[in-house]
Homo-oligomer: A and B are copies of this chain.
Amino acid sequence: MKLYEYEGKELFRRGGIPIPRGRVASTAEEAYSIAAEIGKEVVVKSQILQGGRGKAGGIKFASSPEEAKARAGELLGQKLKTEEIKKVLIEEKLDIAEEWYLSFTVDPAAGGPLLMVSRSGGVDVEEIALKSPERIVTEKINIFYGLMPFQARRAAFALGLEGNKVSELASLMLKLYRVFRQYDAELVEVNPLVVTSEGEFIAADAKVIIYDNALYRQKEFVKGPERFEDEREYRASQYGLSYVKLDGNIGVLCTGAGLTMTTLDLITYYGGRPANFLEFGGATYKNSYYALEIVLSDPDVKVVLINTFGLVARADVISEGLAQAIEELKPKVPIVASIRGTGEEEARKILESRVGLKLFPNVETAVQEAVRLAGAS
């Protein structure tokens, strides 16, 4: 679950990490009073979840409370990169000398946390990493004893820091690592980490992603509908299903991420276009009723393709849910299915006898038929 900048900064504040003075506002009036409180030039930052706000015009400067109110008024309620701006963060404008980069994330190859820090931060950091990887300093962290002070210092020395700056940056890293651990984050990123002209480090931005599967124990975070790009995605998430809207016309329901992706690949291979990604394997196979209901609710869908080859996802249980959905929702579009795996005999009985669904013997034939039907419609 991605946090908004202002939410991430609240975690930073609790962790003792320096952030700019400021607060979040939902109205232009609030923006005015926060700017007045700050009493100097401020930044008005649109709170959306996607990156690239600055280039898209979502960040404005204001030299007076009146101006802050005006800028906030312009931004609030607007759409920025498909998202509606519901809040703006009003912060003191920093006296920026340098823009650095600092993050904690998971190094999949090592299977442990990874510190990355660079004196070259800002929007171009990825390009810098590609062209001059030596400018990104990394430390692999042992999850059991965590980031050690010597590692934080070592990273600071590797950046060429000296004197007090070493321990200041090291201390900031140690605090940020604690945020990463405490909140089950998969990413804690500060970009830019600003060095002010007085030489202070300040986290000018905050990108925090809480790992979805840890939300059950991170109870202060609730992944509400505003965090999803599509209403169906949110609804699917309520049933533990991964749904992503795509721009084709073949509605897809599959078990397992691998088979789902392969089904999309095969649709493309045979010249069709998938309308969505939807995976309902694993622990959520019992929600096949809702899976079909969500796919059918998409008006772009001209044909539904169901591919399962379940292991834990028992074909009989899946088919029970599908049969019920077909009986109740009476779909107007054709359904093509290959249902295999644990319990496939019972599945065949349920679907063929109860709702008259003819099953295809394998994935490829089902895909080919779905593409044919979608093209014919």
Residues of A within 8 A of B (CB): 144-145
A171 to chain B, nearest CB (A): 15
CA distance A145 to B181 in the complex (A): 14
From A142, which residue of chain B is reached at the shortest CB distance? Answer: B144
CA gap between A145 and B146 in the complex, in Å: 11
Q: Which residue of B lies closest to A144 (CB)?
A: B144
Residues of chain B lying within 8 A (CB to CB) of residue A145: 144
Tell me how far the C-beta of A141 lies from the nearest C-beta in chain B, rounded to whole angstroms. 13
Complex Cα spacing A145 to B144, Å: 6
Closest 2 pairs between A and B when the two form their complex, measured CB to CB: A144-B144, A144-B145
Shortest beta-carbon distance, A113 to chain B, in Å? Answer: 15
Chain A interface main SS type:
loop
Q: Which residues of B contact A144 (CB under 8 A)?
A: 144-145
Nearest Cβ on chain B to A149's Cβ, whole angstroms: 13
**Closest Cβ–Cβ distance, residue A112 to chain B (whole Å):** 13
CB distance from A221 to the nearest CB of B (A): 23
**Cα-based distance from A144 to B144 in the complex (angstroms):** 5
**Cα separation A73 to B220 with both chains bound (whole Å):** 49
Shortest CB–CB separation between residue A181 and chain B, in angstroms? 13
Q: Can you spell out 2 A-B residue pairs with CB atoms less than 8 angstroms apart?
A: A144-B144, A144-B145
Once the chains are docked, how many angstroms separate the CA of A185 from the CA of B288? 53
- With the chains together, A94 CA to B42 CA distance in Å? 61
Q: How far is the CB of A217 from chain B (nearest CB, A)?
A: 13
Least Cβ–Cβ distance between A210 and chain B, in angstroms: 22
Min CB distance A180 to B, Å, is 17
Measured between alpha carbons, how far is A145 from B145 in the docked complex, in Å? 8
Task: Looking at the assembled complex, report how far the CB atom of A20 sits from the nearest CB atom of chain B, in whole angstroms.
Answer: 30
Instruction: Report Cα–Cα, A144/B148, bound state, in Å.
Output: 13
Question: Closest approach, in angstroms, between the C-beta of A353 and any C-beta of chain B?
Answer: 46
Closest to A145 in B: B144
Question: In the complex the two chains form, what is the Cα distance from A212 to B155 in whole Å?
Answer: 33
